[in-house]
């Protein structure tokens, strides 16, 4: 489909709409809604942000970080989620898949069977959407090539 020039049209037909979550406050609220629905008893999240450097690091689409800081005599921990800025104009199901993936890391650190079961619990189409997110990256690259 790529070599025949039909991929962009196919992808846009498959995912005609984009999400409207441009600001970090909206992204945080979106993430917290999913967390509240499926993971009420997990530790809180202190920050959810768009990160324009993330795709360059570890070839990742999103990152979950766990930061521990000594504060007085106590150890304070924070969970943060960073989503690649390239997904600011992605279809909503793909953004949801990324958020679900990073939320699952709060409970399951490794990409093992329990991790993927949790992802599929929060998003039944998780595996297809994970594949579609990779297709979105090809779509974005092709769009950049055609605009040059």
Residue 47 forms beta bridges with which residues?
80
* Structural element, H or E, at residue 146: helix 126-146
Number of domains in the chain: 1
**Position 57 confidence tier, pLDDT thresholds 50, 70, 90:** very low
- How far the first Cα of the chain sits from its last, in Å, is 20
* Residue 8 counted as domain residue: no
**pTM score of the predicted model:** 0.85
CATH code (residue 27):
3.30.2010.10
Full residue range of the structural domain in which residue 90 is found: 19-146
* Residue 137 counted as domain residue: yes
Q: In what order do the strands lie in the sheet with 45-51?
A: 45-51, 74-84, 62-71
* Residue 5 counted as domain residue: no
* Residue 13 counted as domain residue: no
* Residue 12 counted as domain residue: no
* Structural element, H or E, at residue 83: strand 74-84
* Residue 32 counted as domain residue: yes
* Residue 30 counted as domain residue: yes
Query: Are the beta carbons of 97 and 19 closer than 8 angstroms?
Result: no
pLDDT tens, position by position, 74-114: 766 778 888 888 899 999 999 999 999 999 999 998 999 99
């Amino acid at each position: 489909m790529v070599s025949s020039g039909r991929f962009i049209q196919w992808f846009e037909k498959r995912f005609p709409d984009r999400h409207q979550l441009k600001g970090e406050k909206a992204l945080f609220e979106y993430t917290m809604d999913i967390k509240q629905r499926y993971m009420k008893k997990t530790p809180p999240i202190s920050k959810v942000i768009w990160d324009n450097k993330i795709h360059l690091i570890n070839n990742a689409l999103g990152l979950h970080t766990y930061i521990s800081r000594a504060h007085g005599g106590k150890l304070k921990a924070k969970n943060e989620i960073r989503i690649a800025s390239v997904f600011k104009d992605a279809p909503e199901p793909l953004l949801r898949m990324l958020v679900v993936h990073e939320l699952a890391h709060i409970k399951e650190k490794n990409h093992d069977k329990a991790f993927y079961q949790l992802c599929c619990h929060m998003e039944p189409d998780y595996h297809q959407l994970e594949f579609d997110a990779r297709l979105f990256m090809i779509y974005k690259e092709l769009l950049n090539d055609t605009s040059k």
